[in-house]
A and B are shown apart, each in its own frame.
Chain A
Amino acid sequence: MMQLAVVESWIEAPLKHFVSEAGAELALLLHPSGQVLAQHGFARAVDVMSACALAAGIHASAGELGKLVDGKPFRGLHHVGRERQIFLAEAVWPRGAYIFLTVFGPESSLGLVRMYFEEMAAALVAAAPKEAAPATPALAEHFERDLNRNLAVLFGRA
């Protein structure tokens, strides 16, 4: 099974620390447009692509719902299943906001996941390149090309 893979190397250490300490089964770091930056635990590119699209959609919906009912976007989301739970939250660093999705089982807990997510978000801020965010819109004409390039990097086809 493909374990941890990142598009940009500075993401690797904070994400690896999160996965190992929080006991996450799956982890995904993505741009709000749905473009993947890093993944842990997924075996197939198509699963990463689907999870990214769904996470971006959930994040956008929760953000709008938050604005509607609370005047500002909701930043975190937690769902409990019979065996597994998901935690989805926004991480902000110099290039802008990103979405983090993780799946964990009974070996971990929401408290641990939240705690190590905060640590990871701080570590990513410290490790991130300091240049400003690219000025291109999230859904640029090259979206599909960039998405495919990132998936190819993650799954060793680049």
Chain B
Amino acid sequence: MATPFAAMLDAMTRQRGVTAALVVSERDGIVVDSNLQIGQDGDRVAALAASLYRKARLSARAAGMGAVSFMQLEAPGGRLCAVGGGALVLVVVAEPTVNVGLIRVELLKAIAGLSSAGGDG
């Protein structure tokens, strides 16, 4: 059965270089829905990415910088990008050579859908 997030996740994984897309509960770090490749540990990515996003959001607020719109982590083996909407976080795992600009646009477009499907948290 398709979830409210299926179209959003499909749009993310259609992007060249994207290897995984997950909708995660920010508070619990639990996967709500995901598009993963065989062998990827979605639970682990979800737990750590949600924790990272939550800490980034709280840090930005503490520093008086306002709400976090887009978070990106760059590592030698790839990139992790995330946006938050309500109580949910949309996380994308991608190859190092991915076009981050395109991923960012797609993620920012998805925020409204994330908020409406996941509540305001």
A115 and B44 contacting across the interface, CB-CB below 8 Å: yes
**Interface of A toward B, CB cutoff 8 Å:** 106, 108-112, 114-115
Q: In the complex, which residues of chain A have a beta carbon less than 8 angstroms from the beta carbon of B30?
A: 109-111
Q: In the complex, which residues of chain A have a beta carbon less than 8 angstroms from the beta carbon of B48?
A: 112, 115
Kindly state the separation between the CA atoms of A112 and B50 in the bound complex, as whole angstroms. 9
Check if B29 is an interface residue, CB within 8 A of chain A: yes
A112 and B51 contacting across the interface, CB-CB below 8 Å: yes
Kindly state the separation between the CA atoms of A109 and B27 in the bound complex, as whole angstroms. 6
Give chain B nearest CB distance to A107 CB in angstroms. Answer: 9
Kindly state the separation between the CA atoms of A21 and B30 in the bound complex, as whole angstroms. 17
Q: In the complex, which residues of chain B have a beta carbon less than 8 angstroms from the beta carbon of A112?
A: 29, 47-48, 51
**Interface of B toward A, CB cutoff 8 Å:** 24-25, 27-30, 43-44, 46-48, 50-51, 54
Given contacts A110-B28, A110-B30, 14 further A-B pairs with CB under 8 A are A106-B27, A108-B51, A109-B28, A110-B29, A111-B29, A111-B43, A111-B46, A111-B47, A111-B50, A111-B51, A112-B51, A114-B47, A115-B43, A115-B47
Give chain A nearest CB distance to B96 CB in angstroms. Answer: 24
B50 and A109 contacting across the interface, CB-CB below 8 Å: yes
Kindly state the separation between the CA atoms of A112 and B30 in the bound complex, as whole angstroms. 9
B51 and A109 contacting across the interface, CB-CB below 8 Å: yes
Kindly state the separation between the CA atoms of A109 and B89 in the bound complex, as whole angstroms. 14
Q: In the complex, which residues of chain B have a beta carbon less than 8 angstroms from the beta carbon of A108?
A: 51
Kindly state the separation between the CA atoms of A58 and B80 in the bound complex, as whole angstroms. 39
Kindly state the separation between the CA atoms of A110 and B32 in the bound complex, as whole angstroms. 13
Q: In the complex, which residues of chain B have a beta carbon less than 8 angstroms from the beta carbon of A111?
A: 24-25, 28-30, 43, 46-47, 50-51
Give chain B nearest CB distance to A91 CB in angstroms. Answer: 18
Chain B CB within 10 A, most for which of A106, A111, A114, A115: A111
List, sorted by A's number, 28 A–B pairs whose CB atoms are closer than 8 Å: A108-B51, A109-B28, A109-B29, A109-B30, A109-B47, A109-B50, A109-B54, A110-B28, A110-B29, A110-B30, A111-B24, A111-B25, A111-B28, A111-B29, A111-B30, A111-B43, A111-B47, A111-B50, A111-B51, A112-B47, A112-B48, A112-B51, A114-B43, A114-B47, A115-B43, A115-B44, A115-B47, A115-B48
